[in-house]
Amino acid sequence: MDSIQHAAQEQFQKQSHRYARGHILENTQDLTAAIEGLPLPAGAEALDVATGAGHAAFCLARAGLRVTASDLTPAMLQRVREGAAERGLDIRIREHSAEALPYPDATFHLVSCRVAPHHFSSPAGFVRESARVLKPGGWFIVIDGTVPDDAPDAEAWLHQVEKLRDPSHNRLLPPREWRSLCEQSGLSVQKLEIAFRKQPDLEWYFETAATSAENREKVRALIASATAPIRRHYRLAEEDGKITWWWPMLTLVAQKPA
Ligand SMILES: C[S@@+](CC[C@H](N)C(=O)[O-])C[C@H]1O[C@@H](n2cnc3c(N)ncnc32)[C@H](O)[C@@H]1O
């Protein structure tokens, strides 16, 4: 494991209780929309990478796919085990990193990954491995926070905020970079959309990551001093005494040539 993977594992090993029932990731409309209309065969094999507490994996299983849920953090996989049992879903669970997938070539009809690649030490390795384990004609779906392609100030500001909030954060990729990684791995991008998702409470956001008091202050200072273009870009606001903002989320759907 490299140092970035190790930092992510350490962070999520401590925070797994925050990611099960009641977390905003329980809402999987984004993934439902992404798989809608994809021509997947009945009982298609799906791999959900960096599955966290398993919300995306549960969504795929409910849609009739045979799901393998994987993550590098044992405590998160325990949440998946419990969540699958509670929901009566049959899900296989595997512990491994996103950058090295322990499966033969052409194993899966679908590889998905939601709200996790910003922790990866090698997004390029993850895309390359995903392309390898997909069957010809298989589908690759990434949903993650993103930064604008040509707005270095907005990009740098969000990176600072994310890193202070959770030091295991690595990097949010702009859409152009995702497209290029897919192309380098022979995946053809069929859809790339940005939607803004509301973060309703800065304090909740800190709590889910156990942000230190010192770093909370630094983030508040960054918010207070954010320039007008940054405030506009992330729609920073205050509602009922809570700091809110809108997080740009990328949905990418790509296909491995048949
Ligand atoms: C926010 S959670 C994922 C949420 C989940 N995909 C969902 O849709 O509910 C992030 C997860 O990424 C995992 N993770 C971080 N870096 C990883 C890596 N390099 N390989 C595999 N998993 C990783 C963490 O262990 C954590 O469980």
The string of pLDDT tens digits covering residues 232-243 is 999 999 999 999
Would residue 56 be called left, alpha or beta, if left means φ above 0 and alpha means ψ between -120 and 50 degrees? alpha
For residue range 3-15, what is the model confidence (pLDDT) as tens digits? 999 999 998 898 7
Q: Which of 2-6, 174-178, 199-203 has the lowest mean pLDDT?
A: 199-203
Bridge partners (DSSP) listed for residue 92: 68
Question: Rounded mean pLDDT of 161-178?
Answer: 94
Between 35 and 16, the more confident residue is: 35
For residue range 76-133, what is the model confidence (pLDDT) as tens digits? 999 999 999 999 999 999 999 999 999 999 999 999 999 999 999 999 999 999 999 9
51 Cα nearest atom in ligand 1? 6
pLDDT band per the 50, 70, 90 thresholds, residue 21: confident
Mean pLDDT, the chain, rounded, equals 94
Q: Which of 9-23, 63-77, 85-99, 209-223 has the lowest mean pLDDT?
A: 9-23
State residue 14's pLDDT score: 84
Name the residue of 21, 28, 51 whose CB sits within 8 Å of the most ligand 1 atoms, as the mutation to test its pocket: 51
How many CB atoms lie under 10 A from the CB of residue 46?
26
Q: Is 118 in the pocket of ligand 1 (CB under 6 A)?
A: no
State residue 133's pLDDT score: 98
| C-alpha to C-alpha distances, 70 to 8, 10, 98, 197, nearest whole angstrom | 14, 16, 8, 25
Name the residue of 30, 119, 120, 251 whose CB sits within 8 Å of the most ligand 1 atoms, as the mutation to test its pocket: 119
State residue 251's pLDDT score: 98
Residue with tokens 């800065």: 202
Distance separating alpha carbons of residues 229 and 181, to the nearest angstrom: 29
Centroid of ligand 1 to alpha carbon of 69 (angstroms)? 11
Kindly state the percentage of the chain with pLDDT values over 90.
86
pLDDT band per the 50, 70, 90 thresholds, residue 63: very high
Q: Is 5 in the pocket of ligand 1 (CB under 6 A)?
A: yes
Question: Which two structure tokens, joined as six digits, stand for 79?
Answer: 């949440």
In contact, 111 and 255? CB cutoff 8 Å: no
